[in-house]
């Protein structure tokens, strides 16, 4: 059986849109015909911020050992692309800080984000109930 040729690629950040709806950014360390290996994988999420939406970068999975590359199989990738300058600055900042936020800080931030989302949903529900649509 023909073995795929492995293409070594380093220090190339990539944003992946996955079939489960997640958006992940990471640094490609290896790519084959079947998978992409990433270091420092982070999830990109849109969070309501008042009347606007803002992007946030969170650890992709709290159970992953960040000392080892993560393999993402290409059959789960819907789209991929090069991050824009702003995203690269934010990603590099998170990576260079050692993404050493304590779990409690991350949990607190996640709880705060969820509270914001719940509040926004509550406002929208209240607004929908008060509007008189016939």
3-state SS assignment for residue 15: strand
pLDDT, position 132: 58
pLDDT, position 42: 93
Question: What are the pLDDT tens digits along the chain (134 aa)?
Answer: 444 445 555 568 999 999 999 999 999 999 999 999 999 999 998 888 778 888 888 888 888 888 899 999 999 999 999 999 989 998 988 888 866 544 445 556 666 777 788 888 878 877 777 765 54
pLDDT, position 1: 41
HEC assignment per residue over 38-98 = EEEEEEEEEEEECCEEEEEEEECCCCCCCCCCEEEEHHHEEEEECCCHHHHHHHHHHHHCC
Q: First and final CA of the chain: distance in angstroms?
A: 65
pLDDT, position 27: 93
**What are 72's strand-pairing partners?**
36
pLDDT, position 64: 84
pLDDT, position 74: 95
């Amino acid at each position: 059986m023909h073995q795929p040729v492995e293409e070594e690629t380093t220090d190339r950040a990539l944003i992946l849109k996955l079939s489960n709806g997640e958006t992940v950014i990471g640094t490609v360390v290896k790519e084959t015909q079947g998978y992409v290996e990433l270091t420092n994988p982070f999830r990109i999420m849109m969070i309501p911020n008042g009347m606007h939406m803002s992007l946030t970068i969170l650890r992709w999975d709290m159970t992953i050992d960040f000392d080892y590359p993560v393999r993402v199989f290409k059959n789960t990738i819907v789209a991929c692309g090069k991050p824009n300058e702003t995203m690269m600055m934010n990603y590099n900042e998170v990576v260079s800080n050692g993404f050493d936020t304590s779990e409690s800080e991350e949990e607190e931030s996640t709880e705060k984000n969820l509270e914001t989302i719940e509040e926004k949903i509550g406002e929208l529900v209240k607004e929908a109930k008060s509007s008189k649509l016939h």
